[in-house]
Chain A
Amino acid sequence: MIKAKNLTKKFKDVIAVDHINIDVPQGQIFGFLGPNGAGKTTTIRMLTGTLKPTDGEVEILGLNLKKHEIEIKRRIGVVPDEPRIYSHLKGFEYLEFVMDIYRINNKETLSKIEDLCNAFGVNYLEKMISDMSHGMKQKLILISVLMRKPEVVFLDEPTVGLDAKSAKILKELLKNYAKQGTTIFLTTHILEIAEYMCDVIAIINNGKIITQGTMEELKKQTGDENKTLEDLFLKLTAQEEDIKHIVESLSR
Chain B
Amino acid sequence: MREFFILLKYGASNVYSQRLSSKKKKYNSFKNQLILSLLGSLPLGIVVFFFTKDLFTKLYSVDPQISKLMFLFWITILSLFFIVGYLGMAMYSLSRNEEIEFLLTLPIKRRTLTIYQIFVSTISQLFVLSFYFFIYLSYMIVSKENIIFGILKLFVHFLFLISFSSVIAVLLGGKTNKGIVRKINVLISLFAIFFYFLIISFQNVNMDQVQSLVKFFDFTTKPYNILAWSFISNKLFIFALLLSILFTLVFSILANKLAFEPVERKTSKNYKIKGYGTVMKAIYRKDLKATLRYEQFLYFVLYPIGFGIFFSFINKDYFVTLFTVIPITTFYVAFETAILTNAEFTNLQTILTYPVKFTTLMIPKIIIPTSINLLIVLSVFMFSAFKTNLSYLIVPITFLLFSMSSIIGMYFVAKNPPKTENMNRIFGIGQTFIIEGITMGLAFGSILPISFLINPQTSFKMRIISILIMIASIFISSVISVFTFKKLKKHLELSLEN
Residue numbers of A with Cβ under 8 A of B are 11, 45, 48-52, 70-71, 73-74, 78, 80-90, 92-93, 95-97, 99-103, 105, 110, 113, 125-128, 130-131, 134, 137, 141
Write 18 A-B pairs (CB below 8 A) sorted by A numbering: A49-B352, A49-B353, A50-B349, A51-B496, A73-B353, A82-B349, A84-B22, A86-B286, A90-B271, A92-B271, A97-B282, A100-B279, A100-B281, A100-B282, A102-B355, A126-B268, A128-B267, A130-B23
Name which residue of chain B comes closest to A82, CB basis.
B349
A126 to B270, CA, bound (A): 7
Q: How many A-B residue pairs have CB under 8 A?
A: 107
On chain B, the residues within 8 Å of A100 by CB distance are 275-279, 281-282
A89 to B279, CA, bound (A): 17
Name which residue of chain B comes closest to A129, CB basis.
B24
Name which residue of chain B comes closest to A76, CB basis.
B353
Q: Distance in Å from the Cβ of A152 to the closest Cβ of chain B?
A: 12
A92 to B285, CA, bound (A): 14
Does the CB pair A80–B353 fall under 8 Å? yes
A20 to B279, CA, bound (A): 36
Q: Cβ of B2 < 8 Å from any Cβ of A?
A: no
Q: A100-B277, A100-B279, A105-B274 are in contact. List 9 more A-B contacts (CB 8 A).
A: A45-B349, A70-B355, A70-B357, A82-B349, A86-B347, A95-B273, A99-B275, A125-B273, A128-B267
Q: Distance in Å from the Cβ of A130 to the closest Cβ of chain B?
A: 4
A85 to B290, CA, bound (A): 12
* Interface footprint category on B: 35 or more
Q: Cβ of B269 < 8 Å from any Cβ of A?
A: yes
Q: Distance in Å from the Cβ of A95 to the closest Cβ of chain B?
A: 6
Does the CB pair A85–B286 fall under 8 Å? no
Name which residue of chain A comes closest to B354, CB basis.
A101
Name which residue of chain B comes closest to A48, CB basis.
B353
On chain B, the residues within 8 Å of A73 by CB distance are 353-355
Beyond A100-B279, A126-B271, whether A88 also contacts B290 by CB under 8 A is yes
A87 to B195, CA, bound (A): 36
- Which of B267, B283, B294 has the most chain A CB atoms inside 10 A of its CB? B267
Q: Cβ of B208 < 8 Å from any Cβ of A?
A: no
Within 8 A of A (CB), among B178-235: none
- Which of B278, B352, B496 has the most chain A CB atoms inside 10 A of its CB? B352
A100 to B278, CA, bound (A): 6
Does the CB pair A50–B273 fall under 8 Å? no
Residue numbers of B with Cβ under 8 A of A are 22-24, 265, 267-271, 273-279, 281-283, 285-286, 289-290, 293-294, 343, 346-350, 352-357, 421, 496-498
Does the CB pair B352–A87 fall under 8 Å? no
Does the CB pair B343–A87 fall under 8 Å? yes
A228 to B474, CA, bound (A): 71
Does the CB pair B271–A105 fall under 8 Å? no
On chain A, the residues within 8 Å of B282 by CB distance are 96-97, 100-101
A182 to B364, CA, bound (A): 35
Q: Distance in Å from the Cβ of A220 to the closest Cβ of chain B?
A: 37
Residue of B269, B293, B356, B498 near A88 (CB, 8 A) is B293
Q: Distance in Å from the Cβ of B96 to the closest Cβ of chain A?
A: 14
Beyond A87-B24, A87-B421, A105-B275, whether A97 also contacts B349 by CB under 8 A is no
On chain B, the residues within 8 Å of A50 by CB distance are 348-349, 352-353, 496
On chain A, the residues within 8 Å of B498 by CB distance are 11, 51
Does the CB pair A82–B281 fall under 8 Å? no
Name which residue of chain A comes closest to B361, CB basis.
A101
A188 to B423, CA, bound (A): 33
On chain A, the residues within 8 Å of B348 by CB distance are 50
On chain B, the residues within 8 Å of A45 by CB distance are 349
Beyond A52-B496, A89-B289, whether A103 also contacts B357 by CB under 8 A is no
Name which residue of chain A comes closest to B272, CB basis.
A92
A60 to B290, CA, bound (A): 34
On chain A, the residues within 8 Å of B496 by CB distance are 50-52
Does the CB pair B271–A84 fall under 8 Å? no
